[in-house]
Chains A and B, each alone.
Chain A
Amino acid sequence: MPQLNPAPWFYILIFSWLVFILIIPHKVVAHTYPNPPTSKTTESPKTESWSWPW
């Protein structure tokens, strides 16, 4: 199986990590979002009873 040939292992390792560290996080972090992430609060919202007669 050619994947088990150890000759190209080192440079494949180095190049894949270089791409993973240098190129991709810059592109991921460039996507911004308008609201900060919030966790759910434990209070449930107060709702009034529906007063419209159907």
Chain B
Amino acid sequence: MMVNSFSQFESPVFLTIPLILLALILPWAFYPSRLHDDSSNRTLTLQNWFIGRFAKQLLASSTPKVHLWATLLVSLMLYIISLNLLGMLPYTFTPTTQLSMNMGLAVPLWLATVLVGFRNQPTLSLAHLLPEGTPTLLVPLLIIIETISLLIRPFALGVRLTANLTAGHLLIQLIATASLAFMWIMPAIATLTSILLLLLTLLEIAVAMIQAYVFVLLLSLYLQENS
């Protein structure tokens, strides 16, 4: 069994229990659906604001048919952003670094947007494969290119999220290891490396939120295009 920098991404199993179950289930303790009475507190208010404003911002420019997807898209956003941000804590496992989970989310949801489009308005959905105003000679080539670009979308969605988070976690581990290794030999370099680590961690927190948003935004765009 080779231990290398990628070992942090192995799906951990302890006494034959896959610990990804804990990583998937425990974050939702941070989101109480109600308190013991009907009052509210600061945390619930902030979550309320976030959910309402995000739903409004995502769906403001779309038709009422797209609004039927609001619960799904907001749940997806909450899911991904919580898992990403909790993964920034040291020694936690981030399920969204697993290609299986991201492809498992991306492929069915993308396919749903395509099938909704083809069922409700098949001509318009097929028409998306040819941009308006292309010269006649280029038409066959462009249809092939647009079909390929359509079929590659689920892979792009899944791999984008996986790669961004995996790369971020890997960089953090490498720079932290370097900082520790330098500490006894060249403390000045270790200090600089620690400052780099701090900046990188801030970047990764931003990336965690942005990638969640991009995932949901692209899905909503694919949906609007198809309905």
Contacts and interface: CB of A to CB of B under 8 A. Distances in A.
Contacts of B75: 20, 24-25, 28
Contacts of A31: 44, 47-48, 51-52
A37 B71 CA distance: 14
Main secondary structure of the interface of A (DSSP, over half): helix
Max chain B Cβ within 10 angstroms of own Cβ: one of A16, A23, A25, A29: A16
Nearest to B10: A2
Contact of B104 (A16, A28, A33): A16
A46 B99 CA distance: 56
Given A2-B9, A12-B100, A30-B34, A24 B78 contact: yes
Interface of B: 6-7, 9-11, 18, 20-21, 24-25, 28, 31-34, 44, 47-48, 51-52, 56, 71-72, 74-76, 78-79, 95, 97-101, 104-105, 162, 166
28 contacts: A2-B6, A2-B9, A2-B11, A3-B9, A3-B97, A8-B11, A12-B100, A12-B104, A13-B101, A15-B18, A15-B21, A19-B24, A19-B28, A19-B79, A20-B76, A20-B79, A20-B105, A27-B28, A27-B32, A27-B33, A28-B51, A28-B71, A28-B78, A29-B71, A30-B34, A31-B44, A31-B47, A31-B52
